[in-house]
Chains A and B, each alone.
Chain A
Amino acid sequence: MSEILVQTLVSGLLIGLIYALVAIGLTMIFGVMDIINFSHGEFLMFGMYSSFWLYTLYAFDPIVTLPLTALFLFGLGVIVYKLVISKITNAPMVSQIFTTFGLMLLFRGIAQFFWKPDFRTIGHTMVSGSFSVGGIQIGTPQLTAGVGAILVTAGIYLFITKTRLGAALEATAADKEAARLMGIDSQKMFALAWGIGAACAGVAGVLLSTFFPIFPDVGANFILIAFVVVNLGGFGSIVGALVAGILVGVIEVMGGFLLGPQYKLAIVLVLFLAVLMFRPQGLMGKA
């Protein structure tokens, strides 16, 4: 029995790291622009398809094409920012929600239009398979994704706290007009945030694509959890997203195991609400 518990814990940890990875891009965009991106799951979906097509058409391994997909998604994020989001930076919160919700539908429609609604999967990759440590099974794709999540978090954290561009990003997040007075091009910073946010989703998509089916609506499976993670960690907090992601993963898997799988999401949501009652700004959010 205890072995099963440990196994459950490990599995929860691994899926939690993936949640964190999906959420980091979302929290990034939110932190800088105060916009909840409902279409974030669709960036993830595009990342998965990019990985899928590079694999299917050119037989490139997803792990190899990861930088390419990240770059591609970065571009997509910037384009979406320039074409759509830049026009609503000053709009009320509700219209921003409205817009990104529209983007979500649009992207799903586009994916279905070009790639049909079929479920697709990537066959054998560099990271396929699993191994066992002391009787505990660990999926290699999941582990890779987990490591990826930690690296991305660390990278972004360092970027924001240690670089000049990161400081500029943070200043824009705080007060974009004041940032302009410092000589910071706020438009560029917003575009950068969207680029990075989308790229994170892209990386998550690639890593997910090695073990999760790919279909136009796949974003729907992840978006609610991503919201919860972002919120639980504190909007805009990168480290918060990592911690909250792990927490949510472990609680979901453990809770499902101990209290009934049909309530696994409910358990996460109840705990999430409970935390908000005591820390309205999330675990690591600033008051």
Chain B
Amino acid sequence: MLQVRNLRVSYDGVLAISKVDIDVGAGKLVALVGGNGNGKSTTLRAIAGLNLPDNGKIIFNNNEIQDTPAHLRVPLGLSLVPEGRRIFARLTVQRNLELGAYTRHDAHEVRESVDSMYTLFPILKERRSQLAGTMSGGEQQMLAIGRGLMAKPKLLLLDEPSWGIAPKFVTKVLDTIQMVNSRGVSVLLVEQSLHKALAIADYGYVIQTGRIVMQGTGKDLLNNDEIKKAYLGL
């Protein structure tokens, strides 16, 4: 479904990632993990089209999309829930969700999707007409995920969805992701917390200083000694 080949991105001439290869198969949940500032977000942003790569290929459903502008990647079935939520602070919760479905044209279906989001996140329903910016950090994260799902993506890119979320809800968020995945949406999940992400992932990549240094099934990686040493503090 998604193939990233030899991707290289830099900010103002400073290299952030290079030679990144990632594959996400149809219906798979793939995790991209790594410490702070190692290029996870950069990778996702490049896939979503927010950063243009210096070179490399991004192939989505057999189309090369590395030169496609970000807004045209959404209708292809790519949706990114960005780092730091980026919800529309001055719009209501409801309108945020509706905007998530901007590329969909069936008003009725969109309304149904909104309702299903409310079922998924009851807190959002409570706050449907509140301005999104006045909600707490965690509430905003729920909204961001809901909004990302509203595009009915084939591949959902999630950048640290559990960031700033209460433990009780972290599990819930991860469950939600698994559920979405089980309905056939492929997921590329970026997380800091290795064990949580790898525990639910079919496959995982470890990124370090802008390069993929390890990959394998989630279980394999979790049991890898070096990983344990470097990331799990054991």
Grouping DSSP codes into helix (H, G, I), strand (E, B) and loop, the B interface class, with mixed when no group exceeds half, is loop
Please determine whether B98 and A178 come into contact, CB atoms closer than 8 angstroms: no
Q: Which residues of A does B touch, CB under 8 Å? A: 164, 167-168, 170-171, 174-175, 177-186, 286
Most buried by B among A164, A174, A182: A182
The residue of chain B having its C-beta at the shortest distance from the C-beta of A236 within the complex is: B90
- Say whether, besides A175-B86, A175-B88, A181 and B48 are in contact (CB < 8 Å): yes
Bound CA span A170–B147, Å? 16
- Say whether, besides A164-B102, A168-B99, A186-B71, A178 and B49 are in contact (CB < 8 Å): no
Please determine whether A181 and B69 come into contact, CB atoms closer than 8 angstroms: no
Interface assignment of B123: CB less than 8 Å from any CB of chain A: no
What residues of B have a CB within 8 angstroms of the CB of A186 in the complex?
A: 71
- Say whether, besides A167-B95, A167-B98, A168-B99, A180 and B86 are in contact (CB < 8 Å): no
- Say whether, besides A180-B70, A183-B74, A174 and B90 are in contact (CB < 8 Å): yes
Least Cβ distance of A119 to chain B in Å?
A: 44
Interface assignment of B89: CB less than 8 Å from any CB of chain A: yes
Please determine whether A184 and B82 come into contact, CB atoms closer than 8 angstroms: no
Least Cβ distance of A185 to chain B in Å?
A: 5
Please determine whether A178 and B86 come into contact, CB atoms closer than 8 angstroms: yes
Interface assignment of B151: CB less than 8 Å from any CB of chain A: yes
- Say whether, besides A168-B102, A171-B99, A180-B49, A185 and B88 are in contact (CB < 8 Å): no
Please determine whether B71 and A184 come into contact, CB atoms closer than 8 angstroms: yes
The residue of chain A having its C-beta at the shortest distance from the C-beta of B85 within the complex is: A178
Most buried by A among B87, B95, B99: B99
Q: Which of B29-65 contact A (CB under 8 A)?
A: 48-50
Chain B contact residue count (CB 8 A cutoff): 27
Bound CA span A270–B109, Å? 52
What residues of A have a CB within 8 angstroms of the CB of B95 in the complex?
A: 167, 170
Please determine whether B50 and A180 come into contact, CB atoms closer than 8 angstroms: yes
Bound CA span A178–B95, Å? 14
Please determine whether A182 and B74 come into contact, CB atoms closer than 8 angstroms: yes
The one of B75, B82, B90, B151 in contact with A178, judged by C-beta atoms closer than 8 angstroms, is: B82
Bound CA span A180–B69, Å? 9
Interface assignment of B212: CB less than 8 Å from any CB of chain A: no
Interface assignment of B103: CB less than 8 Å from any CB of chain A: yes
Bound CA span A185–B102, Å? 11
Q: Which of B60-108 contact A (CB under 8 A)?
A: 69-72, 74-75, 79-80, 82, 86-91, 95, 98-100, 102-103
Bound CA span A179–B72, Å? 12
What residues of B have a CB within 8 angstroms of the CB of A174 in the complex?
A: 88-91
The residue of chain B having its C-beta at the shortest distance from the C-beta of A286 within the complex is: B90
The one of B75, B79, B90 in contact with A181, judged by C-beta atoms closer than 8 angstroms, is: B79
Other 6 A-B pairs with CB < 8 A, given A175-B86, A184-B102: A171-B99, A174-B91, A175-B89, A180-B49, A181-B48, A183-B74
Please determine whether B82 and A181 come into contact, CB atoms closer than 8 angstroms: yes
Bound CA span A215–B56, Å? 56
- Those 3 A-B pairs whose CB atoms lie nearest each other, nearest first: A183-B74, A183-B103, A178-B86
Least Cβ distance of B134 to chain A in Å?
A: 10
The one of A170, A175, A185, A286 in contact with B71, judged by C-beta atoms closer than 8 angstroms, is: A185
The one of A168, A170, A177 in contact with B50, judged by C-beta atoms closer than 8 angstroms, is: A177
Bound CA span A174–B91, Å? 8
What residues of A have a CB within 8 angstroms of the CB of B102 in the complex?
A: 164, 167-168, 171, 182-184
Please determine whether A180 and B71 come into contact, CB atoms closer than 8 angstroms: yes
What residues of B have a CB within 8 angstroms of the CB of A181 in the complex?
A: 48, 50, 70, 74, 79-80, 82, 86, 148
The one of A167, A168, A182, A185 in contact with B69, judged by C-beta atoms closer than 8 angstroms, is: A185
Least Cβ distance of A237 to chain B in Å?
A: 11
- Say whether, besides A167-B99, A171-B99, A183 and B71 are in contact (CB < 8 Å): yes
Bound CA span A12–B160, Å? 56
Least Cβ distance of B153 to chain A in Å?
A: 10
Least Cβ distance of B216 to chain A in Å?
A: 30
Bound CA span A184–B89, Å? 17
Least Cβ distance of A133 to chain B in Å?
A: 42
What residues of B have a CB within 8 angstroms of the CB of A179 in the complex?
A: 71, 99
- Bitwise, B96-133 to A at CB < 8 A (1) or not (0) is 00111011000000000000000000000000000000
